[in-house]
Copies of this chain bind each other. A is one copy, B any other.
Amino acid sequence: MPPKGTMATIYDVARAAGVSPATVSRVFNGASVSDEKVAAVRHAAGQLKFTPNRTARTLRRQSSEVIALVIPDIENPYFTEMARGVEDVASEAGYSVVLCNSDAQLEKEATYLRIAVAEHMSGVILAAASDHSEIAELTAAGRPVVAVDRSIGDDVDGVVMANRDAGRAATVNLIEAGYRRIAHIAGPEHIETAADRADGWRRALADHGLAYDSSLLRFSTFRVDGGRAVMEELLALPEPPDAVVAGNNLIGVGAIQVLTEHGLTPPSVGVAVIGSLPFTTLSPSVVTVVRLPARHMGVTAARMLLERIGGDDQPARTVVLRGEMQAASVAR
């Protein structure tokens, strides 16, 4: 028996089963061992409540069956849905997922990435906090990385959305519903996702011969308070917009909150959101939504990462997924 407050080791099991530690190890790793010894070992392990020490195994093997998923906002349902996708395929393959919240801060992100290599994690899926994310240490250590939601260089695998198309589709929908002065509340300008969606908005206006008014494009944060602040600004304009494209789900929530508070519930002001409105209690017919395949992105990223972990060595790929329009059915 091992001392109290301590876990049993393969040595304890080996002694109890009358075999060598190596044999115990083999039993737990599927190597060939005679039936009788397998039985003896399993019995002893059961008695002693033996669980293999993953730390020791990891140290010895120089790798562990855990992958890290680093996201910028754990409170955003878009990312938790993505996490579900990652988790499902990972656990299917015997991997655990640890979720790390970078809080959109480069520094926190860097800390987690460092931990990922120092803990011998097999790989990381990264929704980057910015375009300056530093993955050099990871790749230097031979750890595969898959970028998700935002790409981080041509030489890194990625799973992204067709953001430009999503921005354009949302905007066009509003135009076709008869709105003419359409604002866009975008995420942070330096984030690719935000910039691309804004570009889609710009192009949609141009395609339809609508004038571009720079006061109608505003970069903000990808959070509710960002959406709120900008919506207030827009309403305070001498000539406020008659519709708005929200750059992500949370911005959409913030914008709708402010509109509601001003008695301008959609569709009296048109609203299109890039991303699904989380837990919405609105009638689906009043707001146009471009649903993003968050779960699917997670699934895809996890699959790619597992392939790389398995030794796949082809050149970096970027998978582009598309959003799905769900148009409002009532106009103003």
Contact = CB atoms under 8 A, between A and B. Distances in A.
Interface stretch (A37-45, A74-82, A148-156, A202-210): A74-82
A101 to B, nearest CB: 6
Nearest to A54: B118
Interface stretch (A193-201, A237-245, A275-283, A323-331): A275-283
A83 B74 contact: yes
Contact of A75 (B6, B81, B108, B140): B81
Contacts of A141: 5-7
Contact of A84 (B54, B58, B75): B75
A80 to B, nearest CB: 5
Nearest to A96: B115
Interface in A250-285: 250, 253, 256-257, 260-261, 277-283
A188 interface: no
Contacts of A54: 115, 118-120
B99 A7 contact: no
A10 to B, nearest CB: 13
Contacts of A112: 96
Contacts of A115: 54, 96
Contacts of A101: 83-84, 87
A117 interface: yes
Contact of A137 (B51, B77, B256): B51
A98 interface: yes
Nearest to A57: B118
Contacts of A96: 100, 112, 115
A100 B80 CA distance: 12
A279 B253 contact: yes
Contacts of A108: 91
Contacts of A52: 118
B260 A279 contact: no
Contact of A51 (B84, B114, B224): B114
Interface string A85-129: 001000100001011110000001000101101111000000000
B278 A278 contact: yes
Contact of A74 (B53, B80, B257, B277): B80
Nearest to A65: B115
A147 B279 CA distance: 27
B118 A51 contact: yes
Contacts of A55: 55, 58-59, 64, 118-120
A49 to B, nearest CB: 7
Contact of A250 (B257, B279, B280): B279
Nearest to A53: B118
Given A99-B99, A279-B280, A281-B282, 10 more contacts: A6-B142, A7-B117, A51-B114, A55-B120, A56-B59, A75-B84, A83-B101, A84-B101, A224-B279, A253-B281
12 contacts: A5-B140, A5-B141, A51-B137, A53-B59, A55-B55, A55-B64, A80-B80, A84-B101, A253-B281, A260-B282, A278-B278, A279-B280
